[in-house]
Structure 1
Amino acid sequence: MTTLVIAEHDNVELNASTLHTLMAARRIGEPIHVLVAGFRSTEVAAAAARLEDVEKVWHADAEHLKDGLAEAIEPNVVALGNQYSHLVFPATAYGKNIAPRVAAKLAVGQISDITAVISPDTFERPVYAGNAIATVQSLDPVKVLTVRLSAFDASAAEAAAAAPVEALAAVPDRGISTLVSRELTKLERPELTAAKVIVSGGRGLGSSDQYKSVLEPLADRLQAALGASRAAVDAGYVPNDYQVGQTGKIVAPDVYIAVGISGAIQHLAGMKDSKTIIAINKDAEAPIFSIADVGLVGDLFEAVPDLVEKLDA
């Protein structure tokens, strides 16, 4: 029984999601191998080889793999697939694009968003927007899994000696997709899924300008990431990258501050595992208060500036 972790990276360094995925692979059991598929990504493969418990790294290097397109990466995973009992992907846009294609090609099922490993063939995953946990057993010869990152710690521990890196001949480009452009949001703040403190805003902020003027000073004082509810994103207050929730990013920071967020089910599904939840809302009946550890009923336009003033004192 050997597990293959499909690494997410940018051809320069490993994404933190890979470290969370590796932790889930450790719970399944050793040995663990890692696939790095990219272009001019030798340093990424070397970094993966230094991670604790990794016994071997496969390195597929070709120009058509540089953009991480699912149509290009999937054949390389399938080429190795039957050698492994488990194929483990991060439950990010990258992993969610590739995993279903791999499962279909291998004619096996996929278990999505696992949050716990009960045994090598049995896993837990949330259902009904996280309101229930399903225990799922797979009898497939190859288990294709995506890992909810917030459920597993990221471990960057290095091994005493680097694992061997073995070249994998990349499957030729099928030419069925190309990347036209990619617009990346550059953040000066911590990335949402890795942040220890998140300040998140909802539709109650009223506008993009008020989102910035109210929340940014608080986030600055707390060195926090900024997030938003789907309603705030749909209203155009902030880009999609800020969205927290079932259809956005799943987060579990030490502190989550929800400002002007009512607490729709899809939003709660993305942040209710936070260690401490603080809610500020003028509606005392808002659902967010049902899961909040600390709740403040009041006008956010007064409460947040007062909080910032006290933090400055």
Structure 2
Amino acid sequence: MSHVYVLVEQSAGQLGPVTSELITAARPLGVVSAVVVGKPGEAVAVAPALAEAGAAQVIDATAEDYDARLILPEVDALHALGAANPAPIVVAATAAGNEIAGRLAARLASGVLTNVIGIDDNGAARHEIFGGTIVTTAAAGGACPIYTVRPGAVKAQPEAGAGAVAPMPLPVATNKDVKVFSFTPAVHGDRPDLNQANVVVSGGRGVGSEDGFHDYVEALADVLGGAVGATRDAVDEGFAPASAQIGQTGATVSPDLYFALGISGAIQHLSGMQTSGTIVAVNQDQDEPIFQIADIGIVGDLEEIVPALVAELEKR
């Protein structure tokens, strides 16, 4: 039976939500072997969650000095697996994931497809181009075709697996390896991760200012327990940080509920959120493109509508 390797996204034994998406995306290619690269004990910690997501096997690729090495442990582990028992490899389309994919492609002499939104059982992968207006299909050659899957593009569909853990010691570091001597962990707020949130509230240039972004976008997101997003215009104006940007040059999200506040609906933004479940748009101009894809459209002033909505939600 065919099989496929999936590089697990995890930190200190906590499974990243995108991993379930990767396992779902990889499943058409064969039986999933989830590869956990990290410090000893982390694979065992996430094995139950990986089994629930659909992994038939958990490969425990560990190294005591993992925290002091950069990118190479993941590349070494996947290279060893692919060289010994060739199979497709699926990783997340993050900055690190794309670099891992490129290094693996060179080592394994296999093709690589980046930022895909789905994989078919024949090995072909789908890409969105021109702001999501066209979907293309491509295939990668080699014994170990490599795919990086865009976070949020595939809806996770858990499927019970065995989750049996198999140890795989990593090669020791050499004096040629890049070593990390210190690092500062990212500080996460109380809001959910943008790529994984069930509710996203986004603001565009129409919110008017940084204060408006706080008063309307952040206030509504907080009362709904959602994440905060922004258009590129809002980021360029300084209303929101770059990490909140959604669209062709930002994050791709697919929440159950998406609020678009003061957003015109340029194709660059729509490409990052048009697969959302229910889209609610609030804008003063009824002719804006955002209303063409909105499930609920409200034409009016944010200053009146959003505070009233927040007040009503707080009562409930």
How far apart are the structure 1 equivalents of 2:69 and 2:96?
Answer: 8
The residue number in structure 1 matching 2:190 is 188
CA drift at 1:171: 4.9
Q: SS of the counterpart of 1:151?
A: coil
Match for 2:225 among 223, 227, 249?
223
**Gaps in structure 2 of 5+ consecutive residues:** none
Q: How does 1:88-127 map to 2 (within 5 A)?
A: 88-127=90-129
The residue number in structure 2 matching 1:232 is 234
- What TM-score comes out, normalization by structure 1 length? 0.88
On the 8 A contact 2:44/2:165 being kept in 1, the answer is no
Assess, with a 3 A threshold, how the Cα gap between structure 1 residues 233 and 71 changes in structure 2: closer, same or farther: farther
Q: Report % sequence identity.
A: 38
How far apart are the structure 1 equivalents of 2:217 and 2:207?
Answer: 9
CA drift at 1:99: 1.4
- What TM-score comes out, normalization by structure 2 length? 0.87
CA drift at 1:137: 2.7
The residue number in structure 1 matching 2:169 is 168
How far apart are the structure 1 equivalents of 2:267 and 2:164?
Answer: 44
How far apart are the structure 2 equivalents of 1:261 and 1:33?
Answer: 42
RMSD of aligned residue pairs (Cα, Å)? 2.4
CA drift at 1:7: 0.9
| CA deviation vs aligned residue, 1:274-302 (integer Å, no higher than 9, x gap) | 01111112233322222222222222122
The residue number in structure 2 matching 1:51 is 51
On the 8 A contact 2:70/2:178 being kept in 1, the answer is no
Q: SS of the counterpart of 2:248?
A: coil
**Gaps in structure 1 of 5+ consecutive residues:** none
CA drift at 1:118: 2.5
Give aligned pairs, total.
310
CA drift at 1:67: 6.8
Assess, with a 3 A threshold, how the Cα gap between structure 1 residues 182 and 23 changes in structure 2: closer, same or farther: same
How far apart are the structure 1 equivalents of 2:105 and 2:181?
Answer: 23
Q: How does 1:34-45 map to 2 (within 5 A)?
A: 34-40=34-40, 42-45=41-44
How far apart are the structure 2 equivalents of 1:143 and 1:56?
Answer: 20
The residue number in structure 2 matching 1:11 is 12
CA drift at 1:19: 1.2
Q: SS of the counterpart of 1:192?
A: coil
On the 8 A contact 1:14/1:48 being kept in 2, the answer is no
The residue number in structure 2 matching 1:286 is 288
How far apart are the structure 2 equivalents of 1:221 and 1:138?
Answer: 45
On the 8 A contact 2:153/2:252 being kept in 1, the answer is no
Q: How does 1:53-92 map to 2 (within 5 A)?
A: 53-66=54-67, 69-82=70-83, 83-92=85-94
Residue identity opposite 1:262 in structure 2: S
Assess, with a 3 A threshold, how the Cα gap between structure 1 residues 298 and 111 changes in structure 2: closer, same or farther: same
Residue identity opposite 1:198 in structure 2: V
